[in-house]
Amino acid sequence: MPSIENWILNPLDVINRMFESRESDTEWKQKVDEFFARKLQDEKLNSLVPSMNNEALHNLPPNTLMKFRCMIQDSYEPEYFLDTYQLVDKSTGDKKTGSSRYKDVIDRPGYDVIMESKDNETGCRQVVYCVAVPGENQWVKQVYVSYSSRRPQREVVTDCGGNQMKRCHEEAMDVTRETPNGVENDQNKRRKSNNSAHNDYLSTPKQPPQITPTSYPPPGNEQTSQNVEKHHPIPGEDGPVCIVKVYDETMELKVNETYEFTGVFSVDPIFSTPFDPMDCNGVDEDHMMELKSRSPPSSLVPRLHVVSMKPLKHINPLLPATIPKKISEDFTQSARYLRDDLIEFLKRLTFGDEIVAQSLLFHLLSRVYTRTGTMAVGKLTLNITGIPPNSSYPKLFADVIANLVTKTHYLPMTLDNMNKLKFTPKKDYQKNKLEPGFLQLSGGTHLVIDETQLHPGSLDPMGVKNVQALSSLMTSQKVDYDFQFYATPFYHDVNCVVLSEAKSMLPCDLQVKLTPDTPVATNLEEYFARLPPSDEMLNKLRVYLTLGWMGDYDMEPSVMKQIENDFVASRSSDNEKMSADDLHRLLVVARLQSASLGKSKLELSDWSVVKQFDETRKEKMK
């Protein structure tokens, strides 16, 4: 069988060869970037790279190339490391230069690092804490895993001499390392006492360090999966997490944005070494807590040294990350027919209520496409009323939406949830980390809020704060993160739909009453089990919703002039018939009407349809 490309299984070998043949410090780094960018731009080669999202951590071999589809949950201070350093051969005394770029530790058996050399150079890398995309739906995971399972199973050709990957992984965890007194392996090292395993990097060492980290690990007791906080915003989610290290200092990495990082996968045992607190003389307790929290065991929270990265505008696995022009053109041609199919499906979801089905379609396609001051232009929060209390309909409704879009979460608005859940992220200054909150969600997430679960009772101060945070998200797509001494606004793009018996207590842009036109099934679970269309049609609808949501939008001056004339005429005939807020809502719906038809420009015919839709909706609300 053909072997897996060496650049996937041994990326550090490729990087080291480029370093050894370098002509200048900047030239070899640029060559590394260009090499991996060229490889990963090829879809077939990119598909060969394993993903942290698809495999258990213990199945992933260290020091191989790995992908991670994730959201940035927290951003750390820049990390300084030995970019280049001088080495001396123990047996011959010859000197040479090495690099610890894309590594957590310096591993050069037979050599000593000359720490005081004037030729050593310090580098800087950005460090972010990333979690699997919050609310990522099951069908998305399954499709990505199916792509991964289609990868050719190839023989692993590494320094392990043709052995299988599992054996390489085991041997990599027992790698031979250089120590001041000779060569020893990790297994022997673990048998030693830890008199100075961490103290060497925090105070004057009593003995030389056994291995040289490229950046200093913190002291801390051995941790297990039971007491390591993975910092997932949504309670109950337990996807992979990772500390990602980015070497491009010019790249602006923002909290809550989604990326696909590709880099060298590192699970070095030094970051899981047990520690005796007596060895940390001179380090204050608060600093100890910060260091321990910021570097959890790599066996549970691995490191990824990035060689390539791309921001993800969407995570739909049925579409390429960057939409080619051909796909956009095909969407324009087929959108009208797919829209009809989706409306028919949503009508079954709403028991034949076409106005609610149309409202839901507009909601699913909405996004914040610009901001004017504090106003998030393009959002369309939806309130569907007429939902009976104690019904299973809201949860079943949420499950259907989850089967159509890529990211959702269902929130039963019970008093217990409102009073006990932490909605807003909070800065923990002792740990120097941003503790996640339920509303720390990436753009394009759909939040289904079940207000029928809210029964009479009292909100405590936490519950009041949570309601305020939720209201702020729905009003301006802004959440004030708690930095204890001050609040910092973070801007979001989360689609919120509220299901309630009467008008919601939460502020919504569009309210519509569910009025079934067909008999409501007595057994809702059985009815919803038969609801989904064929897999082929379901995938077409998923693609349609993603492309419609991402579409560009413009308005011809002549159309804008006609809309202004309509507004003036409406205000002249009845001053209360159309307010400025009504006009803004209609303009948003008009954009979504155009997007639902695959058009990038609003036409007068779309404006007429939207005005008729809104009049019918208002009639239903009476």
Q: What is the mean pLDDT of each run of 10 residues along the chain (622 residues)?
A: 69 93 88 94 91 92 96 95 91 91 88 90 95 97 86 42 38 34 38 34 32 43 50 92 94 96 90 52 66 82 96 96 92 95 97 97 96 91 95 97 98 96 94 94 98 94 96 97 94 97 96 94 94 96 97 85 86 73 91 94 90 92 83
Cα 289 from Cα 428, distance rounded (Å): 11
User: Do 306 and 382 share a domain, yes or no?
Assistant: no
- pLDDT at res. 164: 37
Query: Last residue of a domain, which of 499, 534, 569?
Result: 534
Give bridge partners of residue 470 from the DSSP assignment: none
The string over 3-35, giving b where at least 16 C-beta atoms fall within 10 Å of a residue's C-beta and e elsewhere, is ebbebbbbbbebbeebbeebeeeeebbebbeeb
pLDDT score of 25:
80
Res 26: pLDDT: 84
Q: Are residues 402 and 260 in the same domain?
A: no
Q: Are residues 306 and 351 located together in one domain of the fold?
A: no
Q: How many residues does the chain have?
A: 622
Question: Looking at the domain assignment, is residue 500 inside a domain?
Answer: yes
Number of domains in the chain: 2
Torsion region of 383: left, alpha or beta (phi above 0 gives left; psi -120 to 50 gives alpha): beta
Rounded (5°) CA angle 231-236-241: 35
pTM of the model: 0.85
Residue among 50, 63, 51 nearest 107 (CA): 63
Which token pair is 195? 């008199």
Question: Are 355 and 262 in a shared domain?
Answer: no
Contact 203, 283 (CB under 8 A): yes
Check residue 212 and give its pLDDT: 47
Q: Establish if 602 belongs to a structural domain.
A: no
Domain check: are 29 and 111 in the same one? Answer: yes
* Final residue in a domain of this structure, among 470, 503, 534: 534
Residue 163 lies in a domain: no
Residues 260 and 355 in one domain: no
CA separation, residue 134 to residues 54, 110, 171, 239, 257 (Å): 15, 46, 34, 9, 11
Residues 247, 378, single domain; the answer is no
| Closest-CA residue to 156 (of 145, 147, 167, 148) | 167
492 with 416, same domain? yes
Same domain, yes or no: 121 and 37? yes
3-class state of residue 83 by DSSP: strand
**Both 352 and 306 in a single domain?**
no
Tokens 């049609």 correspond to 537
Query: pLDDT value at position 317?
Result: 96
Tokens encoding 19:
């370093």
Q: Answer whether residue 590 is part of any domain.
A: no
Tell whether 355 and 256 lie within a shared domain: no
What are the residues facing 241 on neighbouring strands?
A: 131
Is 195 a domain residue? no
Relative orientation angle of helices 535-550 and 325-349, to the nearest 10 degrees: 120
Domain that holds residue 127: 5-149+231-267+302-311
Q: Is residue 605 part of a domain?
A: no
The residue out of 534, 564, 595 marking a domain boundary is 534
Instruction: Answer yes or no: is 337 within a domain.
Output: no
Q: Are 307 and 384 contained in the same domain? A: no
pLDDT at 559: 86
* Contact call for residues 477 and 507 (beta carbons, < 8 A): no
Domain assignment present for 439: yes
In contact, 511 and 381? CB cutoff 8 Å: no
Q: Torsion angle of alpha carbons 491, 493, 497, 502, nearest 10°?
A: 30
Q: H helices within 64-124, ranges in order?
A: none
